[in-house]
Amino acid sequence: MLLSLYRSMRSYRGFILGSVKREFQSRYRNSLFGALWTVLNPLSMIVVYTVIFSQIMRARLPGVEDGLAYSVYLCAGLLTWGLFAEITTRSQTMFLENANLLKKLSFPRICLPVITLLNAGINFAIILGLFFGFLLVSGRLPGMALLALIPLLVVQVIFAAGLGMLLGMLNVFFRDVGQMFGICLQFWFWLTPIVYPLSILPPGIQHIISFNPMTALMTSYQNVFLYNQWPHWPALLPLLIIGLLLCAMALRLFRQRVGEMVDEL
């Protein structure tokens, strides 16, 4: 099955790349700042959270004392969470938003999740490049531990893609899924140590939040960027397993219901 999907995507790579280009251009067409909005939106969040929490949290980050520490800590979690949020939220509506395309054109439906991932990846690459520039100018660019960013992103994308595609399929048949996930995502954000370090919470709350599959991932990003430390890889294994299971479930559901999905749309 995976080989068949790969061949389909390879055969329609022109369609995929063209769709990515059109979506990126259409998003910022007739916009004064264009692609700069990709940066301004997360930047505004970072500024707000930094202004509100920097003085409270700076002294609670173990092992660091400079004024930029909390900003680096916040960016490490907030920017990578943004990638996860964009993949999942865009994936849950990708079939609904392309209903006319699905009805009129014959192409492998698996192309739509790939297009969603590529668009999210381009936006994230722009933001990450500017974050690297900030780290370089401020003298806080990590060393060899930065190489851990690649496997961390792979684990995150697997998890986000599996969850997003499953939500996208379910949202076609049960429209409440998308509304419910939007609410859950807000709670999920605050139950993940992004704005605050896990160490400031009571031990009982820490234990509960440790079951959040995104906790180990966000902590790993923060350790890489703030402390130049390699992740604790065994802690990421549950997230990888869950991500692979979600991908398998989503692909199976997709294969079984793709015909019904077009009729439902």
Percent of the chain past pLDDT 90, that is, above it, reads 41
* 3-state SS, residue 192: coil
Please, are residues 33 and 131 in contact by the beta-carbon 8 Å criterion?
no
Residue 123 in this model has a pLDDT that exceeds 90: no
Would 138 be classed as within a structural domain? yes
The answer to whether residue 99 is domain-embedded is yes
Average pLDDT over residues 105-115: 80
Q: Is residue 80 part of a domain?
A: yes
pLDDT tier at 158, thresholds 50, 70, 90: very high
Report pLDDT digits (tens) over 190-214. Answer: 999 998 888 888 998 999 999 999 9
Residues 6+ apart with CB under 8 A from 225: 72, 73, 75, 76, 135, 140, 142
Q: What pLDDT score was predicted for residue 10?
A: 73
Q: How open is the CA angle 220-223-229, to the nearest 5 degrees? A: 105
Whether 179 is covered by a domain: the verdict is: yes
Q: Which residue has the tokens 């049960």?
A: 174
Cα-flanking dihedrals φ and ψ of residue 257, to 5°?
-115, 5
Q: Which residue has the higher pLDDT, 23 or 170?
A: 170
The count of domains in the chain is 1
What's the half-sphere exposure (Cβ side, CA atoms, 13 Å) at 26? 7
Question: What is the reported pLDDT for 7?
Answer: 72
Does residue 11 fall inside a structural domain? Answer: no
Lowest mean pLDDT among 60-69, 78-87, 211-220: 60-69
- Please state which of the ranges 72-81, 102-111, 122-131 shows the lowest mean pLDDT: 102-111
Cα distance between residue 262 and residue 195, in whole Å = 41
In a domain, 193, yes or no: yes
Closest C-alpha among 167, 188, 185 to residue 176 = 167
Q: Is residue 126 part of a domain?
A: yes
Q: Do residues 160 and 88 make contact, with C-beta atoms less than 8 angstroms apart?
A: yes
| pLDDT tens track for 12-71 | 778 788 888 887 777 766 665 656 667 777 777 777 777 777 666 655 676 676 767 888
Cα separation, 65 vs 260, whole angstroms: 57
Domain that holds residue 253: 38-264
Burial readout 61-83 (b: 16 or more C-beta within 10 A, e: otherwise):
beebeeebbbbbbbbbbbbbbbb
Decide if 16 contacts 111 (C-beta within 8 A).
Answer: yes
Is residue 160 within 8 Å of 240, Cβ to Cβ?
no
Does 31 fall in a domain? Answer: no
On the CB side of 204, CA atoms within 13 Å amount to 0
Of 41-55, 85-99, 117-131, 240-254, the least confident: 41-55
